[in-house]
Structure 1
Amino acid sequence: MADQLGRQGTLAEALEAIGADIVHVGVFDYASMFRERRLHREDLLTGADTAVFANVPLKWDQGETILFPGPYRSETVSYDAASLRAYPFEKNAAALVADYTGPQAAITPRRVLGEQVAKARSLGFDVHAAYEFEFIVLNETAETLRAKGFANLDPYAPDNRCWSGQTAAAQASFVSDLEDLLTRGGIDLYSLSVELGPGCFEATLRHRDAMRAADDAAFFRLFTKAFCRQRGLTASFMALTGAGFPGIGGHIALSLRERKSGRNVFGDRSDAQGLSPLARSFLAGIIDGVPEVFPMIGNTVNAYRRLAPGSWAPKTVSWAPYNYAAAVRIAAETEEMTRLELRLPGSDLNPHLALAAMLGAGLDGLERKLALAAAPIASGGPNEIPEGVERLPIDLLAATKKFCASAKARALHGDAFVDHYAAICEAEDAALRKAVSAAEVQRYLEGG
């Protein structure tokens, strides 16, 4: 993790450099929502050495139901000056991330990721990462969603087809305006395109160091949702928005770089798949460890709808070069560009925790020099389960029980985080156990 603010001057100079008089400062919760306060620069700097923030965001579920006993109070935080970015919705404004330094420090998503980044550095590596998001834009406002009971949702650009040049031309102003806003917010896009059908778009973020990449991903969703709401639309990052919509992913690409030289240590052109021995052990660690920490990748009930029977999403931690059906896709165009792409998360992932899960499992495999025993899949499709490979958990409750009982999860991420986060995920599952869908009523109401 970037060094935390030690002197007011560091932050003051950074704020001056981007011309920020207003600062939106906050913490990311487990839903990756930015919980913030809007402060004037002078007030922020005056209180920088004694900053506090309410401790409630890490004590509630996604419905803001408080799950843990008090005291509910302010806890000390420190400002991460390296997280500062322009805030594109207001002139002369910036966004700044704070991290808890008191009792909740060990369970904060950014700190969980920071521990794995620090581990990589101790082994001599920098971590580069990038995120790719599919998302659905709906022709709905906050008011129309509620009037409809969040059912029968109308997509924006209902005529869109996958990679349609016609839709790209028709929606050029929407896309270019969104890209302009994201750029002003410090998010560097590699591409922004139409994708899988009605209302579907895809954004590929350019690779950055791991913490900045995860922050970019979280702010990308925040900025995109706000951009759409300002235009009378709604952006959905649910893994499966509903009938008629495709399952959508939030993929993570990762590589390790030698700290001294900057060389990508994953690439090796002499290998049949273009992978170095180090990369193969890292990949073996992902295959071995990800099933144990899967709630860090799929942290909502809805995330598992995308993994349901009949879907194209991977059901196991499979791998293959360039194969989009693999859970880990190997891309090795050149040694410098070689990366591992985790295709298991939905677009509703927590960017910090999902990257921590991938990185922690991979580093564990690297340290243990695990052999890559699993063969690459040759095809891939709905319900394809390679022989002898463990199927991923089928729902959030099953994933959470496995996570909570896992010695590996506790060794990688600590008892405090595992116990607290498992309770969050169990509550998230319980919140929807009694929810009855229209499809269930149709299927069972008039049956025998």
Structure 2
Amino acid sequence: MSRTDPRKVRSAEDARRIVEERGLTHIKVGLFDLDGVMVGKYMHRDKFLAALDGGFAFCDVVLGWDSKDELYDNTRFTGWHSGYPDATLRLLPDSCREVPFEGDMLLFMAEFTERAEAICPRGLLRRVLERADAMGFAVRGALEYEFFMFQETPESVREKGFRNLRPLTPDMMGYSMLRSSVHAELYHELLGLSEAMDFPIEGLHTETGPGVLEAALGVDGALAAGDKAALFKTFTKVWAQRRGLMATFMAKWSPDYPGQSGHIHLSLTHRDSGDSAFFDAEAAHGMSALQRHFVAGQQRLMPELLAMFAPTVNSYTRLIPGFWAPTDATWGVENRTTALRVIPGSAKSQRVEYRLGSADANPYLALAAAIGAGLHGIEQGWEPDEAVTGNAYELDHPIHQALPRTLWEAAQRLKASSPARELFGDDFVEHFAATREWEERQFRRHITDWELDRYFEII
């Protein structure tokens, strides 16, 4: 008797069947918090089967603390004032995946419901896609990530104080056939993991910098693309640590090398016909009026939504000239110096690449912001500014294209954004902006090595 393929699980009944076939006593259940960190637990079979119909409870503290488990002191959604009660989650049967290194173990994802749904990152993306559906569009997307690999462990990096770390490989060797062949077994393992866990990698190669790789994930519907990106980040780190290595997706770990991007490729199709909404063979660069409006929305709202693409203090060290990261809300056609890169092609390939995002962004929030801004541009009938030709870093740009330079400023722009509140809801905007303010305040409490070196003796 053939076993149920996890990728064919669609309903609660399918989920019951595959759990029973495998004789599992426990099932792995996970969800993603505001920082894109996956949390979860092993759930007993009986509880899991009951939760397929009625949901289950999970402490809402995961929406009330930061990436170091420190409790926010400035949020209203939850806190000591509410007692950190349980929130309700729904299981997502069609998220079923095998965990290859745990025998027959299965992983299912969940998302918040009821009051917490307003804050839930996956729920936010889903609501933006429901907006697209109501407008007659389907959204397809894919993310690509740069990440550095180190010959280190969680223990060794702490013993070293995160200094003098040993990269997987030395020197600046982008697209190196030498590196990928010498370490072929590692590449094959990661490619195999991506296939087994259904976040297939379309392309994998070295980037510029010691030990840095870039992985382009395959295109899918935007919600599935968010799931795959979030799982890719999580289980790439798991895979590396199981090999005695470490992978980091922080935006910039060293001032000597380019930062790590999390680029987003997006396209719209007409929901009913399946035809491209972005391609017009008669228009310049194949850009339909709808694609122009979409790009205009992304461009105009970029300064207001930056906190959703650059969510950490470290994110802003990446947004400097000459390091392959945009510094203003610009767009161009096949121009990698701009924040938005329109990629002309056919009805199948015409798309826009949102190049602003860094690898540390929560993929659900970044997708929600990139898509929501574009939809708003369509609704408003906006037109983009003039496209940039040549090197965007060397040009002067209008003041309205300037991006916030700090996380604090970005949080203030988000809080003051009427389109953000209309797209994402007041509850999310208030809560997420407060968490970013907290993040900035945590940073301000610390003394950096740069400050000690600069001021300790001479001032």
Q: Which amino acid aligns with 1:209?
A: G
Q: Which amino acid aligns with 2:161?
A: G
Q: Which amino acid aligns with 2:115?
A: P
1:45 is matched with 49
Deviation at 1:245, TM superposition (A): 3.0
Unmatched 5+ stretches in structure 1: none
Does the alignment pair 1:407 with 2:435?
A: no
Q: Deviations over 1:184-241 (max 9, x none)?
A: 1111111111111201000000111111100100100111001110111110101101
Q: Which amino acid aligns with 1:208?
A: D
1:60 is matched with 65
Deviation at 1:302, TM superposition (A): 0.6
Map 1:11-410 to 2 at 5 A: 11-13=15-17, 15=19, 22-48=26-52, 49-67=54-72, 68-69=79-80, 70-308=82-320, 311-372=323-384, 374-380=385-391, 382=393, 384-410=395-421
Deviation at 1:40, TM superposition (A): 4.1
Unmatched 5+ stretches in structure 2: 1-8, 73-78
Deviation at 1:115, TM superposition (A): 0.9
Q: Deviations over 1:139-198 (max 9, x none)?
A: 111111111111222211114511112112112111111111121111111111111120
Change in 2 beyond 3 A, CA 1:65/1:388: closer
Does the alignment pair 1:430 with 2:441?
A: yes
Change in 2 beyond 3 A, CA 1:311/1:78: same
Change in 2 beyond 3 A, CA 1:18/1:339: farther
**Is the deviation greater in 340-349 or in 83-92?**
83-92
Change in 2 beyond 3 A, CA 1:184/1:386: same
Tell me the SS of whatever aligns to 1:103.
Answer: helix
Distance 1:192 1:94 in 2: 26
Q: Which amino acid aligns with 2:198?
A: G
Distance 2:183 2:32 in 1: 32
Give me the TM-score of the superposition, normalised by structure 1. Answer: 0.94
Q: Deviations over 1:70-111 (max 9, x none)?
A: 321222111122222222331112221211113211111011
Q: Which amino acid aligns with 2:340?
A: V
Deviation at 1:385, TM superposition (A): 4.2
RMSD of Structure 2 on Structure 1 (CA): 2.0
Query: How high is the sequence identity, in percent, across the aligned residues?
Result: 35
Distance 1:103 1:180 in 2: 39
Q: How many residues get paired?
A: 443
**Is the deviation greater in 324-333 or in 38-47?**
38-47
**Is the deviation greater in 89-98 or in 252-261?**
89-98
Contact residue 138 and residue 156 of structure 1 kept, 8 A: yes
Deviation at 1:322, TM superposition (A): 1.2
Change in 2 beyond 3 A, CA 1:383/1:217: farther
Tell me the SS of whatever aligns to 2:284.
Answer: coil
Deviation at 1:333, TM superposition (A): 2.2
Change in 2 beyond 3 A, CA 1:283/1:230: same
Change in 2 beyond 3 A, CA 1:384/1:158: farther
Q: Which amino acid aligns with 1:423?
A: A
Distance 2:394 2:420 in 1: 27
**Is the deviation greater in 136-145 or in 262-271?**
262-271
Distance 2:168 2:312 in 1: 25
Contact residue 52 and residue 76 of structure 1 kept, 8 A: yes
Contact residue 51 and residue 91 of structure 2 kept, 8 A: no
Deviation at 1:439, TM superposition (A): 2.4
Contact residue 62 and residue 428 of structure 1 kept, 8 A: no
Q: Which amino acid aligns with 2:290?
A: L
Deviation at 1:383, TM superposition (A): 6.4
Q: Which amino acid aligns with 1:375?
A: E
Tell me the SS of whatever aligns to 1:85.
Answer: strand
Tell me the SS of whatever aligns to 1:31.
Answer: coil
Distance 1:179 1:212 in 2: 18
Change in 2 beyond 3 A, CA 1:6/1:266: closer
Q: Which runs of 4+ in 1 moved over 6 A?
A: 16-21
